[in-house]
Amino acid sequence: MEEKRWIPTPADQFTFGLWTVGNRGRDPFGDAVRESIPPTTTVKELSRLGAYGVTLHDNDLVPEDASLAEHDRIVKQFQAALSDYHMAVPMVTVNLFYDPVFKDGALTSSAKPVRTYAIEKAQRAIDLGVQLGARIFVLWGGREGSETDAARDPRQAFSHYRDSLNALTSYIRGSHYDMKIALEAKPNEPRSDIYLPSTGAMLAFIQTLDHPELVGVNPELAHAKMAGLNPVHEVAQAIDAGKLFHIDLNDQRIGRFDQDLRFGSDDLKGAFYLVKLLEDSHYAGPRHFDAHPYRTEDYAGVWDFAAGCMRSYLIYRDRAQQFARDPDIQEMLQAIERLNADETVIRSAEDRKRWGQHGYAYEKLDQLVNELILGVR
C-alpha cells in the first residue's frame, strides 16, 4: 500500500547528470570498471525509472573537437531520445577542468588566452543548453584554485573570476537568453584549495558582480560536508538569500575525499532535514542527483543506484510529512513555541536564572524524530 508513494514520477522532478550514472568507476588508484553508457541509453533507462530529466556537461554529449556537422547530428539524435522518452534537460554545465589546458585554472587563470578560451567554451555550452531547453547553467570551478599561493595573489583570481562571470552574464543578456547561472562551491579536490570554497563565500561574491540577479548557487551536499559544514544550513542560507537556483543531492562522510555517494545512503538524519527543508520551503526546482554508483557495480547496480536515490528522496519526503502530523512531535514543538513566545523582558538575576535553568526537552524531541526516521513510529 504505502510502497506506492515511493515510486518516482516526472512530477517529482528528479534529474541526473549524464556523468553520474555514466561514471566509469575510475579513481586515482584504479582504472575504469564499466564501459561508457551512450547518452540516449541513459535517457531511456532513467525515463523508465521515473526520472524527469537529465543534465550534462558540454563534452558529456559532444566531444570537444567535433565538427559542426557531427555536433548537429549528435544533438539531433539526443533531442529525438528526449522527445521519445519525455525527458527534459533543465540544466547544463561546462567542463572547465578535464582538459590539461585548464591545469592552472580556467575563468581565474592568470593567462589571458586560457581565460578567453574558457569563457568561449562556457558560452558555447550556454548555447547548447538553450538549444536543449535548459534555464540553469551550473558553474563548478574545479580548477579555479591553487597548490601554492606563491603563484598568484588570490585577489587577482577573484578579479578574473568576476570579469569572467560578468562576460558570461553579458553574453546571456546580449543573446536574450532565459538562462541563469548557478555557482557550485567545493573546498578542495582536485586542487589543494579551490577559490570561493563554500556556498556562503559564493553568496557574498555574487553581490560584487554586474548582474547579481542572474547568478545564484548550486550547493552540493557532499561539498559542504567536505568542508565540515552542515549542508542543511548552507542550503537554508541560499534559500534565505533567494539564491537557491539548483541543488546537487548526494551523500558524503565528513573528513573524506569527494565520495559522491547515493543520496540518503550514509547520513540518514542529514538527508531527512534537507528534504524537509526543500519541501517546507516549496523549492520548485529539479532534485538533481550528482553522485556515482559504487565502483563495485555492473550496469544492474548503476540503475539500482539511480532508483535508490529517487526512492530515498520520496521516503524522506514521506517522513517529513509524517513529522508535520505526528501528535507527540507537534505537541512538543508547540510547547517550545509557547515558551519562546513569552514576552517578559529579562531584567533581573531571577529572570536570567529562570531562562538559564529551564529545559528545552530537545533530547526527547530528537529521539522522537530519530524513531520517526527509523520507521518505528
Output b/e per residue, 162-176; b: 16+ Cβ within 10 A: bebbebbbebbeeee
Amino acid at 84: D
Q: Between 184 and 251, whose beta carbon lies closer to ligand GCO?
A: 184
Of the candidates 12, 31, 57, 72, the residue annotated as catalytic is: 57
> Residue 315: which residues within 8 A CB-CB, separation 6 or more?
6, 264
Tell me which of ligand GCO, Mn ion, none is bound by residue 289, counting a contact when its beta carbon lies within the kind-specific cut-off of 5 to 8 angstroms: none
Q: Which of the residues 256 through 285 are near ligand GCO (CB under 6 A)? A: 258
CB-CB contact of 251 with 222 (8 Å): yes
Number of residues that bind Mn ion (CB under 5 A): 5
Question: Rule CB under 6 A: is residue 252 a binding residue for ligand GCO?
Answer: no
Q: Which of the residues 224 through 243 are near ligand GCO (CB under 6 A)? A: none
Query: Has 60 been annotated as catalytic?
Result: yes
Question: Rule CB under 6 A: is residue 290 a binding residue for ligand GCO?
Answer: yes
Number of residues that bind ligand GCO (CB under 6 A): 9
Q: Helices marked H in the chain — which ranges?
A: 18-21, 39-49, 58-61, 68-84, 112-132, 154-174, 199-206, 221-226, 231-240, 268-280, 299-325, 327-340, 349-357, 362-373
The CA-atom distances, in angstroms, between 279 and each of 23, 98, 239, 289, 317 are 29, 35, 12, 16, 7
User: Which of 180, 186, 191, 262 forms a contact with ligand GCO (CB under 6 A)?
Assistant: 186
User: Which of 104, 144, 184, 251 forms a contact with ligand GCO (CB under 6 A)?
Assistant: 184
Q: Rounded to a whole number, what is the distance in angstroms from the first to the last CA of the chain?
A: 17
Site string for Mn ion, 165-204 (x = CB under 5 A): ----------------------------------------
Q: Which of the residues 259 through 318 are near Mn ion (CB under 5 A)? A: 290
Return phi, psi of residue 291, to 5°: -145, 170
User: Which of 104, 220, 234, 326 forms a contact with Mn ion (CB under 5 A)?
Assistant: 220
Question: Rule CB under 6 A: is residue 45 a binding residue for ligand GCO?
Answer: no
Of the candidates 58, 60, 251, 258, the residue annotated as catalytic is: 60
Q: Between 43 and 185, whose beta carbon lies closer to ligand GCO?
A: 185
Question: Rule CB under 6 A: is residue 220 a binding residue for ligand GCO?
Answer: yes
Question: Rule CB under 6 A: is residue 138 a binding residue for ligand GCO?
Answer: yes
Euclidean distance between CA atoms 18 and 310, whole angstroms: 16
Please identify, among the stretches 35-43, 145-153, 221-229, 272-280, the one whose residues bind Mn ion according to the rule CB under 5 A: 221-229
Euclidean distance between CA atoms 288 and 248, whole angstroms: 5
Query: Has 246 been annotated as catalytic?
Result: no
User: Which of 258, 277, 291, 312 forms a contact with Mn ion (CB under 5 A)?
Assistant: 258
- Strands 145-146 and 193-194 turn out to be antiparallel
Q: Which residues pair with 244 in a beta bridge?
A: 217
Residue located via cell numbers 518505528: 376
Residue located via cell numbers 552574464: 169
Residues of the shown chain interacting with ligand GCO in the complex, contacts defined by CB under 6 A: 93, 138, 140, 184, 186, 220, 248, 258, 290
Residues of the shown chain interacting with Mn ion in the complex, contacts defined by CB under 5 A: 220, 222, 248, 258, 290
Active site amino acids: 57, 60
